[in-house]
Structure formats: C-alpha cells, structure tokens
Amino acid sequence: VIGLVEQRRGGVPFHVHCKICGRPIAADREYCSRKCSDEAMRIQQRSKRISRIYMLIFIILMILLFVWSLSAGRQP
C-alpha cells in the first residue's frame, strides 16, 4: 500500500490510489467511493471467512494426528 503513494513535482500533494478500482484519490482516503469501500468490506469478510476455514481444517488435522499418535502408541 505504501508503494502506491506517489508524489508529483509541482506542489501536487500526496495522493494514493483506490484499493479497489485504482483511481487516484486524496491521501487521507482509502477508497474513491462508498461502492468501493463496500466492496473492500466484502472482500475482507470473505478472506476472514476463508482463513477461519483454513484454521478449522488445521485444528481438525492436529486433532486427528493427536488421536492417531495416541492409538498408535497404545499398540504393542
């Protein structure tokens, strides 16, 4: 994100690009419009959900591994 910050010669203040559509916007804003901020929110929620699913899979794998190692250890 920092890499998107540009400075032009001639007194034009810092500006950044909208994270969604890439349009140049004022440096104190993150998105050019309500639509883009809504879109960003949707993407964020989706990625949060996906990382939660990965976390669940990881936990299940750990439990399986634990149960497997317990049952393997019990055998003579």
Residues that bind Zn ion (CB under 5 A): 18, 20-21, 32, 36
Least distance in angstroms from the C-beta of 30 to Zn ion: 9
Residue in the block written with tokens 């001639």: 10
Least distance in angstroms from the C-beta of 61 to Zn ion: 39
Q: What's the rounded Cα separation, in Å, for the pair 23 and 35?
A: 13
Residue closer to Zn ion by CB (options 16, 32) is 32
Q: What's the rounded Cα separation, in Å, for the pair 64 and 15?
A: 51
Least distance in angstroms from the C-beta of 26 to Zn ion: 12
